[in-house]
Chain A
């Protein structure tokens, strides 16, 4: 959906490097969800952000929500080959509590050993 834009579209990083993925919404967010997908498989829930300024971490992955910009960033510290995959942000614009999400096109991450 162009109403939810992710950048970059793809990323190749050397193992151990940090990286950031951005997700920008054209509409007011009630919730922003981050998922990871291995190629051709189902999605794995990473974290969900609701309030402006909220920041959550899961292992070496941190996500923040900037309410003013309606933007979220996902930051991976000291990347590992296990981080490779497709990262998808999903927007809840209708207070559906996460059951009806609009997803971005994804960021394809490759990590070189």
Chain B
């Protein structure tokens, strides 16, 4: 089975621009979460979607938005990019296995804002 896939792998944008990151979960996984990982830090939770509904939102400004599609893939959108948005953006999908929601992470999208 294919793992979680994310596109693009790398991206360079200029301050003020808009970016869309994409994620395809593992087949059969209905929950998708997004995390931001700044260099040298642990991942920070941004959003969680389940069955196309937002189930959780982290402490991020309204410039960040996301959605989930009927096929459970997801997009993360960031408007008015700032230098501080430069990070590795991780997507994770999850399933219930033995009573535990085990999250599987994608390889991430490396966003650089100049």
The answer to whether A113 has its CB under 8 Å from any CB of chain B is no
Task: Determine the main DSSP class of B at the interface with A.
Answer: strand
For residue B50, which residues in chain A have a CB less than 8 angstroms away from its CB? 99
For residue B96, which residues in chain A have a CB less than 8 angstroms away from its CB? 97
B105 touches A99 (CB 8 A): no
**Chain A residue, CB-CB nearest to B31:** A99
Point out which of A1, A100, A103 has the most chain B C-beta atoms below 10 A from its C-beta. Answer: A100
Binds A, one of B13-21, B38-46, B69-77: B38-46
A96 to B100, CA, bound (A): 10
Q: Per a CB cutoff under 8 Å, which of A33, A45, A101, A105 touches B104?
A: A45
A1 to B33, CA, bound (A): 18
The answer to whether A102 has its CB under 8 Å from any CB of chain B is yes
A99 touches B55 (CB 8 A): yes
Q: Closest CB of chain B to A5's CB: distance in Å? A: 11
The answer to whether B4 has its CB under 8 Å from any CB of chain A is yes
Given contacts A31-B100, A98-B102, 4 further A-B contacts (CB under 8 A): A42-B106, A43-B92, A45-B105, A103-B35
Residues of A that sit less than 8 Å from B by CB: 1, 31, 33, 35, 40-45, 48, 50, 88, 90, 96-106
